[in-house]
Structure 1
């Protein structure tokens, strides 16, 4: 990790594009079933890649900020 002249970290956080349902549960503190309810109601976007259901990170942020 790089440090600047004052000894502070210059770490850069890169937000993920999508997260799996299990990660969304950990990030939001909501239950798995509640996330699926939000998906069904259209309040939470999803992207299907093969058999995987992914949630765009921006959709999770919008949900928690709104």
Structure 2
């Protein structure tokens, strides 16, 4: 599995700024469907279904999708099942 590609970062005046001009300590990374599937320990088809159903935010680049690492973590955090 390859290393995630970092989110677009511009340098302005010596400090790092994300594309939306908000200062960033660590730039958010975009992950491939395969990387998200590996992280969640599910199949790539499951990740595609989550994206197509609107449950997991993604950006379409050409014919492929990229998911922000933070969006994948938000989805997992919101998906905990509490039995009892």
TM-score (norm 1): 0.67
Q: RMSD of the TM alignment (CA)? A: 1.7
Displaced runs of 4+ in structure 1, greater than 4 A? Answer: none
1:44 correspondence with 2:56: yes
Aligned residues: 53
1:21 correspondence with 2:33: yes
- More displaced stretch, 20-29 vs 43-52: 43-52
Cα pair 1:19 1:56 within 8 Å, conserved: yes
1:31 correspondence with 2:43: yes
Greater share of residues in strand: 2
TM-score (norm 2): 0.54
Larger radius of gyration: 1
Unaligned 5+ residue runs, structure 2?
Answer: 1-25, 79-84
Matched with 2:77 is 65
